[in-house]
Amino acid sequence: MMATPVKVLLCTADDGIMVDTIDAVLRANGFAPNLAVVADKDDIETIGREIADADIVYPNKASLSRKMIQRASRLRLIHCGTGCDTVDLEAAEEQGVFVCNTAHIMAQSVAEHAIFLLLALAKNGDHYLRGMNNESWSRRIGTELAGKVFGILGFGHIGKITARIAHSLGMKVMASRKDLGQGNKGQDFVTLVDLHTLLAEADIVSLHLPLIRDGPDKTEALMGEEELRKIGEKGLGWLINTSRGAIIDESELVEALKKGIIRKAGLDVFATEPLPPGHSLRSLPNVILTPHVAGETEEALKQRYSRIANNAVRVLREKRPEYIVDQLQSPSMEKN
């Protein structure tokens, strides 16, 4: 029996795990995969050309516009990582294309990275790394985290895991979520509060929200001048972001860091990625930066690529995929 050909467009450089994992799963299920890899997410011309005859697309951080989706006549599935904010979801739904994500798979890795940034801020990790590499012996006073108030904005899977780790460090944990009536989901050590209380009372605020650009649940630029000022009024005045850069008004954050309103920040995500050379955040002494790698662990990536490939198999066999994003749970997407 001949294997069924399938084209998969992968809009990111291979990390040594992606191609092998997706290829192996598809071949084991009777398909002959043609994996087209476009390493540069900003290479719109190549992505636009390759998507035209693709069956499956993994955009990663690349943008998929309405025009791209409409010209992709064979497209059956767009499978994102955690967020789908770079995909025109309305156009996908109109074309009958499923959009799925790998929700929860990266949760442990992202939560651990948020705590890594927290510890690096508390123990002056960046200062010692630079100093010791330059043969310096410059010492600073650190911060003990036990007893400090750790505020989590967004109490989903990542937020819950982050809360558990922070609690294990002896921190007092509070969280804010859209529906406070859902409770703390059995984490009795977490105090649920509204947004304004969290910003005013927490020593450290850690962001774990999806990026929503419009509508009543909009999170874009949620952290503006007023919110940043509230964080800085009491306690340590630290901010951690491992969610999406555009949730913070970046220009306001730069000013708050320069003025000492926000005393320290640990950032894994930025409004523009890669973070441009010469960006103000790169030169500030009270910021620790990482290049959007919170979910990039071997364990999480293997699970991510396996889910993408297995969902591709379901769609190619005319079955409904798993983990369809919330915005696409409409009757028009109900298939098998």
Which one of 49, 273, 279, 314 is the catalytic residue? 273
Q: How far is 304 from 326, CA to CA, in rounded Å?
A: 18
Whether the link from the prior residue into 285 is cis, omega within 30° of 0, is no
CA–CA–CA angle 284, 82, 40 (5° rounding): 70
Which one of 76, 79, 208, 292 is the catalytic residue? 292
Alpha helix (H) ranges present in the chain? 18-28, 44-50, 66-71, 89-94, 107-122, 125-133, 157-168, 195-201, 225-233, 250-259, 280-283, 298-316
Verify whether residue 273 is a known catalytic residue. Answer: yes
Per-residue buried b or exposed e for 139-176, using 16+ beta carbons within 10 Å of the residue's own CB: eeeebebeebbbbbbbbbbbbbbbbebbeebebbbbbb
Q: How far is 74 from 116, CA to CA, in rounded Å?
A: 43
Which two structure tokens, joined as six digits, stand for 205?
């605020």
Q: Which of 186, 157, 196, 189 is nearest to 174 (CA)?
A: 189
Q: Are 284 and 258 in contact (CB under 8 A)?
A: yes
Which one of 208, 244, 304, 307 is the catalytic residue? 244
Verify whether residue 292 is a known catalytic residue. Answer: yes
Side chain identity at residue 71, one-letter code: R
Q: Are 8 and 22 in contact (CB under 8 A)?
A: yes
As annotated, the active-site residues are 244, 273, 292
